Amino acid sequence: MHTHNIPVIAIDGPSASGKGTVAQLVANTLGFHYLDSGALYRLVALKTMQTHTDITDITKLAEIARNLAVVFENNKIFLEDNDATNAIRTEECGILASKLASYPPVREALTARQRAFCQIPGLVADGRDMGSVIFPNAPLKIFLTASAGVRAQRRYKQLNEKGINANIADLLRDIEKRDAQDSNRSVAPLQQGTDARLLDTTTLSITQAKETVLAWYTEICANK
């Protein structure tokens, strides 16, 4: 099947910006598939920790990425039949994911897997390089962000709801560290592409952010 005719909404942005929540709501509204690409990097990190793999052994890490036995099902994520939905959300996992994501062979090993999510009637994909690398032909590309302080509060709330302990000062420090790591890497760095629309959600509710994305998509469809 020619996937280039299938509409993709690519939502990229920094850590804890709320892009995952917005992407999921947009996907539900449109009846589109949803790709949480960050979850794949987090799964590679989880498997790396579980197997005590040397985090400088890039060949082994790419192998883990290529062979990841993962199933996304009804808002749950299974790694080798074990429910990994919450295990991948720890800060430890996020920090390691960000580190592994800076290795080109790891990224390449996940490329085809991400593109396979592009199926009719359409896809909403969130991450760091959805618009720039994975789905360069996406008709709508969005760079969704918010101030670091607001993102720390959002992450705090998200972890709290999952029963994971955290404090805002530590989260803010992690977010700033991860921003620097994700923005400064040489491969697929986090940045707003020239063809991406900026959606700053610092003062927007989730619903307002979702409505903005849907309005932009409607506009694009009307102008086709």
Residues of this chain that bind ligand CDP (CB under 6 A): 15-16, 37-38, 41-42, 94, 97-98, 101, 127-129, 178, 182
Distance from chain centroid for Cα 43: 12
CB 215 to ligand CDP: min, Å: 24
> With respect to ligand CDP, which residue has the nearer C-beta, 7 or 38?
38
Four-CA torsion 9, 195, 19, 132, nearest 10 degrees: 80
CB 224 to ligand CDP: min, Å: 27
Q: Which is nearest to 96 in space by CA: 134, 140, 33, 54?
A: 54
> With respect to ligand CDP, which residue has the nearer C-beta, 83 or 219?
83
> With respect to ligand CDP, which residue has the nearer C-beta, 130 or 223?
130
> With respect to ligand CDP, which residue has the nearer C-beta, 125 or 204?
125
Counted residue by residue, the chain has a size of 224
Beta bridge partners of 195: none
CA distance 73 to 33: 12
CB 25 to ligand CDP: min, Å: 16
> With respect to ligand CDP, which residue has the nearer C-beta, 77 or 97?
97
CB 94 to ligand CDP: min, Å: 5
Cβ contacts of 115 within 8 Å, gap of 6 or more: 3, 134, 135
CB 122 to ligand CDP: min, Å: 18
> Locate tokens 């099947």: which residue?
1
CA distance 102 to 196: 22
Which residue's Cβ has the minimum distance to ligand CDP? Answer: 38
CB 40 to ligand CDP: min, Å: 7
> With respect to ligand CDP, which residue has the nearer C-beta, 128 or 210?
128
